[in-house]
Amino acid sequence: MRLSLSVNGAPSIVASLSGPGYLSAHLNMSDRPKEKQHEKSVRINAFETGETETVSMKWPTFQLGVGDVVELRILPDGNGDAPIKIHRSSDSPYVLFSSIDLAKELIQAVSDFEHHLTELRHKSEEMEPADEHKKFESAIGAVAWELGQHLLYPIYRKHRELIPDDMKGELL
């Protein structure tokens, strides 16, 4: 994927992404007096999504004024300008455990906890009014998301061999 961005006919920036992921341009206008934020800008961002690594890339942001012309052009695959900022998920402090045995133990503890929550969800469905059960289901969903974000995915980034087959692909 590759695209170019130019403002008022000036030389363009070319952003490219060679792997799976997202390449996007953002035109933003904000007027937030309480936050003292008044902005008109355009930028390109990309997220390259691999099985165990996400790479975030940013190109320069251009400030805009009334009457400016922004041109985006979709280009054939090829090289682009280097991003000004790159962040890799593997650099995150949320990559857990050098010990695979400890990683496996945590995965099992999370699995046991999720199993117990599922049992409670079934009981809630039988015993609680529908509106209370819905609240509990929503709370369980939030907890499951947090467990994935802060415990499981950080382990999977470090120990690719522990990723369950049904979760393999673009994930982390």
Residue 91 has pLDDT above 80, yes or no: no
Q: Which residues contact 157 (CB under 8 A, 6 or more apart)?
A: 52, 53, 89, 90, 92, 94, 95, 172
Asked whether 77 and 16 are in contact (CB, 8 A), the reply is yes
What value does the mean pLDDT take over residues 164-172? 73
66 falls within a domain: yes
Q: What is the pLDDT of residues 96-146, one digit of tens each?
A: 888 999 999 999 999 999 999 999 999 999 999 999 999 999 999 999 999
- pLDDT value, residue 167: 81
pLDDT category, 4, cuts 50, 70, 90? very high
Same-domain pairing of 108 and 131: yes
Q: What is the pLDDT of residues 34-46, one digit of tens each?
A: 888 889 999 999 9
Total length of the chain: 172
Residue 127, domain extent = 100-167
pTM of the model as a whole:
0.58
Burial pattern 129-166, b for ≥16 Cβ within 10 A else e, equals eeeebeebeeebeeebeebbeebbbbbbbbbeeebeee
Same-domain pairing of 10 and 66: yes
- pLDDT value, residue 169: 72
- pLDDT value, residue 171: 57
Same-domain pairing of 107 and 70: no
95 falls within a domain: no
Out of 39, 61, 90, a domain closes at 90
CA distance 1 to 45: 12
Residue 78 has pLDDT above 70, yes or no: yes
Same-domain pairing of 84 and 17: yes
Same-domain pairing of 113 and 145: yes
Residue 87 has pLDDT above 90, yes or no: no
31 falls within a domain: yes
The structure tokens listed for 54 are 């996400």
Percent of the chain having pLDDT more than 90? 66
